[in-house]
Amino acid sequence: MAVVADLHVLRVFCGTGGRGGNRLGVVSRGATVVGERQRSAVAAKLGFSETVFVDDPDRGVVDIYTPSVRLPFAGHPLVRHLGTGVDVLRPPAGDVSTWQEGDFTWIAGRADWAAGRELRQQASAAEVDRLPAPPPGTGFLYAWAWQDESEGAIRARAFPRRGDAVIEDEATGAAALLLAHTLGRAIDIRQGVESQILARPRPDGWIEVGGRVALDEVWTL
């Protein structure tokens, strides 16, 4: 892999105390990685659930890849700090507002941007935990159960089932967005091993998703 840019390795949707979170690769000078084929190769080599290429940091233009497909929208690549003070991110799906509340970074997206994910309710959190990885079947599965329905507390696990090396996602913002839209209420999701995702619908139809972000390390590609 040629030297093209710095890669910031983040953990997004960390739990309390900074634990957990889904690892994310952020290619700081994305414009130096030209074309979908080259970007796909970089994302596959890195092997993170998603890698985001920052094409224009001043305008917030970004491009998102899994190890096997390009995504028009995804939650955990957008719930992060660009370090440039922008308040709008621009993935292919459309403009995404972003802001900070305490130690949580937030974005707002549309439920139709998260289409193609199956939300499957389980009878209990223990049943979610007992699922094999991945469960039989094809297509993105988001298995969830109430931990405390009155408090909006949810236990969840996510299985992309794309045929690549990512068997289970530690934290998934787009699926959380879709679940909050479907339930029509604010939810507090504990996903994977130690990750936390907050999601809440707005009256205008947009869904807000928030979480903590931690920087693990900086690499050179």
CA 208 to chain centre: 13
Please, are residues 9 and 15 in contact by the beta-carbon 8 Å criterion? no
Locate 98 and state its tokens: 């972003």
Q: Give the Cα separation of 22 and 8 in Å (integer).
A: 13
DSSP string, 86-153: -SEEB-TT--EEEEEETTEEEEEE-GGGGTTEEEEE-S-HHHHHH--SSPSSSSEEEEEEEEEGGGTE
Q: Give the Cα separation of 179 and 44 in Å (integer).
A: 28
Predicted confidence pLDDT, tens digits, the chain (221 residues): 555 578 999 999 999 988 999 999 999 889 899 999 999 999 999 999 999 999 998 899 999 999 999 999 999 999 976 555 789 999 999 999 999 999 999 999 999 999 999 999 999 999 999 999 999 999 999 999 999 999 999 999 999 999 999 999 999 999 999 999 999 999 999 999 999 999 999 999 999 999 999 999 998 88
Q: Which helix (H) or strand (E) holds 34?
A: none
Q: What is the pTM of this model?
A: 0.95
